[in-house]
Amino acid sequence: MTPPSRTSVVVVGVESYEAGPDWDLDGPAEDARRFADWFLERDVPPERVSVLVSPLERNAAVWEQRPHPVHPADQATVHRELLRRIAGEDGELLWVVWGGHGVVDAAGHRRVFCADAVSDDRVNLDLDEALAFFRSNAVSAFRRQIWLVDACQSLPDVRRTRRRLPHSAFPAGSPTAGHDQAALFAVRAGERALNLSGERTGLFSREVLRLLADADPGLWPPDVNALYASLRHTFADLRARGLARQTPIHLWSRGWDGSEGQLLATGTPAAPAPARPSNAAVRAVAEALLAVPEWRSPAARQEMIGLVRGDIGLWAVVPEQPTPRLTAIAVVRTCLRYAGAPQELVEAARLCAGDAPEVKALSQAVDALLMSG
């Protein structure tokens, strides 16, 4: 078990942006305070808890006397903390928590905006590059990492944007299997993360903090797989009651149990695919996949495929075909090459389409496929 004394924390909460009041959020700074307090309660040393915050003026007083370092959340400070201080620090476990505005760029990278972003110079942190950097050989410490991101993954509106997103690259490192990195995002690509201004909290942050408060105090760090499973059930219930539209997702580079890929389901080990599945069974799965409404949208289809087997990058292995049907067939046949991938395809459909009847039919078709041959 990693001791709290060997844990380092970076918490970022951006409420006020140089872009002006249209960008204001009332909640990320208060969430940052709550997260920082939780780490202190779990005996993480105050000097190893760094908070970068840009609060609204009415929320600034609480930051005047804190037991841990407090810094502004501008881009220069964000990069200095992550690239210089944290990357060079000695430790076993790293937590990074971010709350604020975010988007997905044209390349599919998740970006979160820094406090000095303005409309024509939306300075940001490329989360995908940051995650790759911290799981590379450029960072010798922090073999275990947990990243929590409560930010939108909206697609930028090109009609209202005069310039492309600026890019400040992280140094390149070589991939290594020595880092176990889990990342929980409040939403999937194209969705908006709900901020509850009346409660001064993000919905995702509120639920994460609630679950962390109930976690076993004798276990450090908390079981991130159990945390995600609880979040998944919580948000499924909130969506069913019309209280949320967002779907949290969980990615990892190498699971702490030794598995690789993306956590979409838990339970018994996946059964291997049949050596020679029947064409009829493959066709049945492809037809069931075509029936899922989200499959008809190119963007949603790409998101669904991207959720399967994050270790191999299924979307890179199976490029978009001329028709949705051909894409479905290619995806099914490719999934059969990787143990567990057909089941992950069902879970990806469930994440994107919920518990629709079409998803149940897809699950049944996949079960039949795995029993054929």
Quick one: which H or E segment has residue 250? strand 249-252
Residue 91: phi, psi to the nearest 5?
180, 170
pLDDT at 162: 55
pLDDT per residue as tens digits for the range 79-128: 999 998 998 899 999 999 999 999 988 777 889 999 999 988 999 999 98
Instruction: Please provide the DSSP assignment of 143-174 as one string.
Output: SEEEEEEEE--BPP-TTT-SSPPP--PPPP--
pLDDT at 161: 55
pLDDT at 180: 84
pLDDT at 270: 46
Structural domain boundaries of the chain?
4-252, 279-371
pTM above 0.75, yes or no: no
pLDDT at 320: 67
pLDDT at 336: 85
Q: Which residues in the chain come in under a pLDDT of 50?
A: 159, 255-271, 311-312
pLDDT at 309: 60
Tally of CB atoms within 10 A around 262: 21
User: What is the architecture, at CATH level 2, of domain 4-252?
Assistant: 3-Layer(aba) Sandwich (3.40)
Asked if 273 and 342 touch (Cβ cutoff 8 Å), the reply is yes
pLDDT at 156: 63
What percentage of the chain exceeds 90 in pLDDT?
43
How far from 148 is each of 11, 56, 328, CA to CA, in Å? Answer: 9, 22, 32
* C-alpha to C-alpha distance for 145 and 116, rounded to whole angstroms: 27
pLDDT per residue as tens digits for the range 187-238: 877 788 889 988 999 999 999 999 999 999 889 999 888 888 888 888 888 8
* C-alpha to C-alpha distance for 45 and 84, rounded to whole angstroms: 20
